[in-house]
Chain A
Amino acid sequence: MSAILPTAQADAPLPAAKRDIAPLLLVPVLMLVMLPLVGSFPTWLTLTVAGLAMGMMIFIMASGLTLVFGLMSVLNFGHGAFVAVGAFSATLVLLPMRGWLEMDSLLINLGVLAMAVTLAMVVTGLLGWAFERIIVKPVYGQHLKQILITMGGMIVAEQLIHVIWGAETIALPLPTALRGAILMGDAAVEKYRLVAVVVGLVVFIAMFLVLNRTKIGLLVRAGVENGEMVEALGYRIRRLFVAVFAAGSSLAGLGGVMWGLYKETLTASMGSEIMVMIFIVIIIGGLGSVGGCFIGALLMALVANYAGFLAPKIALVSSIILMISVLLWRPAGLYSNSRS
C-alpha cells in the first residue's frame, strides 16, 4: 500500500485514498439478487425487513463485543449475560406499567419503552463495569483464562437471574401501538421490525459519529491499532478500556430488550443462546471492526431469512456456510484492522 515518493514537483500524483468498497456492496447486492429468486415482491419485502430487523438487533448486541476485542484483545465469552440481564431488567419497568403499554398510543408506548431501555442500559453498564473489574482485569492478557473465566461469569449471571426473577420464562407482549403490520400494497411489514431497523440505524450512525468525529473515538480507533503508542502519547488507556467495556455491555442490554420484545418471551438462557450468532457475526465482520460487524449482522440475518424461505433444509446451517464462505474470501473477516 505504499504510495509514490513525493518528488520535488508540486504536481506529483497523490496516493489514492484506498477505500475498501467490496464488503459495502454485499448487503445491497444480496438483497437485489434475492428479489428475482424469491419471486414475489411482497414476500421479498417481508423477508428483507425481517432480516434487516433481526440483523440490526444482533448488530447492537455484537458491536460492543467486537469493539472490546479490538481495543483490549479481550474476548468476553460471557457477553450474553448482558443481553439477558438487560432484557430482564427492562421487565422491572415493563411489567408494572403493563397498563400503559396496552394503551393504543404510540407516544405513551414509546415513552414507557424508553424508560425501560434506559434502566436496562444503566444496569448493564454498571454490571459491565463490575464484570471488567472483577472478572476480566485479573486475567488480562491470558486468553485461555479469559475464555474460561468469562464463561464462568455468564453461568453465574444466568443463575442469578433465575434466583432473582424466578426460573420460569417471562412473557413480554409487544406494546399495543407497535403490534401488527403496516400494509404496503400487497406486503405486510411488521411495525416492530421497522422500529428495530430505525433504532439499529440510529445506533450505528451514533457509533460512527463518535468513532470518527470525537477525540474519544480517535482514541478508540488508535487504541485498536496500537494501545502502547496511545499510552506513550500520554493517555491512560486503561480508563478507556473500562469505559468501552461498560458501553459495550450497555449496548448489549439494549439489544437484549429489543430481542426480548421481538421474541415476546424472556428466558434466562437467552443470552447464551444468542452467543453463537453473535460470534458468527463478529467473525464474519472481522474482530475489532464495527463496520464489519454491521455488515456481518445484516448479512447473516438476511441469509437466514432468505434461506428459511427458499431452502428450509439448509437454513439451519446457512449461517455457518456464510461464515465459511466469507473466511475463504477474507480469512480475517471482512475488515480486519486490529493487530494480528
Chain B
Amino acid sequence: MHRLLSGDLPRSRILTGVLLVIVAGLALAPFLFSGARPLNTAATICIYIVLVASYDLLLGYTGIVSFAHTMFYGIGAYGVGLALARVDEPTWGVVVTGLILALLLALLLALVVGLFALRVRAIFYAMITLAVASSFAVLASQLSDLTGGEDGVTFSVPEVLSPSFLLFENEVFGRYVDGKVITYYLVFAGCLLLFLFLLRLVNSPFGRVLQAIRENEFRAEALGYRTMVYRIWANCLAALVAALAGALMALWLRYVGPKTSLGFEVMTDILLIVVIGGMGTMYGAVVGATLFILAQNYLKELMAHGSSALEGVPVLAAALHPDRWMLWLGVLFILSIYFFPIGIVGKLRVRAWLARR
C-alpha cells in the first residue's frame, strides 16, 4: 500500500476512513445504487477527481494559476468525440486516433503557452491563460461545422461500451452488466491509474523540485534548477492528464459540447474544489470533488425545499433558490481562503498530527 500510494499516506485516520469509503463507493457504484443518476454522479466524481488533481499539480504543487485547464479538458473530450462523430463505424481505432490527436494538440498548446508566458509574472500568466482559453471556447462554439457549435455533438461509442451491449445474460447483484457499466469501469480504472500516476509524480524528486519552486523560486534557481523547464513540464503534464480526463468524460457522456467541456463554469468548479479540498495535497481533489459533485446533484433539492418553505420572504427565498447554489459556494470559497487555506484535507492532517503529539 505504501508503495502504491508513492509514500504519500493520508496521515489522518479520519481522512483514511473517508478515502476508503469514497474509493469503495466508487468501485462498487453500479451495484450499490440502481438507476442511471447515481452512476452518472459516480462517473462524474471519478473524472473530476482526476481533473482537479491535475490542476492541483499546477496550483498546489507548482504555484501556477492557470485558467486554461478546461481548455485542455475540452481538447481531450472534443478529440475523441469529434473523431467518433465523423466516422461511420465507431471502433477502438478511431477512439485511439482521436485521443492521440487530442493529446498532441494539448501538448503543443501547453508548450506554446508555457514557453511564451511562464517566464512572466504569475499574474500575467493567469490573465493570458484566461484570454487564450476564452478565445478557444469562442472558437469552438463558432466553428459549428466542425464542432457542432453551441449544441455540441453526440456520437456512438465502440460496441462494447454502448448501452445495448450485454456482457452477461443475467443480472449481477441486481444490475445488468451492460455497456454503460463497462464504460463506468473503464472510467473508474482510468481515473484510478491517472490519480496514482499524479501521486507518484508529486512524490518524486521532480515533484519536490516543483514544491521548492513554489516556495521560493529565486532560491531554486540559485540551487541550480532551471525553473522554467520544470514549470513547463508541470504545465504539459497537467494538460495531458486533463485531456485524458476529458476523453473519458466524452466516452461516458457520448456527447461533447462547449458548456460541459469548455465553459468557464467548469473552471470555477475546479478552483472551488481545489481550494476547499486542500491545495497541494492531491487527496484534497478526492474529498473535494466527491463533496462538490454530491452537493451539486443532491443539495440543490434541499435548497429547493428551503426556498419554497420561505415562499413569502423576498430576499431569502431567492437566496435559497437552487439556482443560487453558486452563491453559497462562492461564500464558502472565500471563507475557505481565509480560514482554511489548507483546505479540508489539510485541516484533517493538522488535527491528526496535533493529536499524536
Contact = CB atoms under 8 A, between A and B. Distances in A.
A159 B124 contact: no
A272 B330 CA distance: 15
A19 to B, nearest CB: 26
B295 to A, nearest CB: 16
A156 B120 contact: no
A270 to B, nearest CB: 13
A135 interface: yes
A166 B63 CA distance: 38
Given A138-B338, A279-B130, A280-B131, A151 B271 contact: yes
B65 interface: yes
A232 interface: no
A156 B327 contact: yes
B138 A147 contact: no
Nearest to B123: A75
Contact of A167 (B59, B264, B323, B330): B323
B337 interface: yes
Interface in B305-357: 315, 318-319, 323-324, 326-327, 329-331, 333-334, 337-338, 341
A144 B341 contact: no
A320 interface: yes
Chain A interface, >50% SS class: helix
A30 interface: no
Interface residues on A, range: 35 or more
B123 A276 contact: no
Contacts of A320: 131-132, 135
B210 interface: no
A135 B337 CA distance: 10
B135 A164 contact: no
B32 interface: no
B123 A272 contact: no
Given A75-B123, A144-B122, A159-B330, A152 B139 contact: no
Nearest to A134: B334
B154 interface: no
Interface residues of B, number: 39
Contact of A317 (B120, B135, B323, B330): B135
A276 B136 CA distance: 12
A155 B325 CA distance: 11
A152 B264 contact: no
A179 interface: no
A287 B127 CA distance: 11
B303 interface: no
A287 to B, nearest CB: 8
Contacts of B124: 283, 287
Contact of A316 (B120, B138, B330): B138
Contact of B131 (A147, A272, A276): A276
B334 A163 contact: no
Interface in B247-273: 264, 268, 271
B327 A159 contact: yes
Contact of B331 (A144, A156, A316, A331): A156
B52 to A, nearest CB: 14
A24 B134 CA distance: 29
B65 A163 contact: no
A77 B267 CA distance: 14
Interface in B119-158: 120-124, 126-128, 130-132, 134-135, 138-139, 142
B131 A279 contact: yes
A149 B337 contact: yes
Interface string B3-21: 0000000000000000000
A156 B330 contact: yes
A69 B131 CA distance: 18
Nearest to A69: B123
Interface string A164-192: 10110000000000000000000000000
A160 B142 CA distance: 31
Interface string B274-289: 0100000000000000
A143 interface: yes
B65 A279 contact: no
A162 B330 contact: no
A331 B132 contact: no
Contacts of B329: 155
A260 interface: no
Contacts of B341: 145
B65 to A, nearest CB: 5
Contact of B134 (A149, A276, A283, A287): A276
B326 A159 contact: yes
B321 to A, nearest CB: 8
List the 8 shortest-distance A-B pairs measured between CB atoms, nearest first.
A159-B327, A155-B330, A156-B330, A279-B127, A152-B334, A152-B333, A163-B318, A276-B134
12 contacts: A139-B337, A148-B65, A149-B338, A152-B330, A155-B329, A163-B319, A276-B131, A283-B131, A319-B135, A320-B131, A320-B135, A323-B128
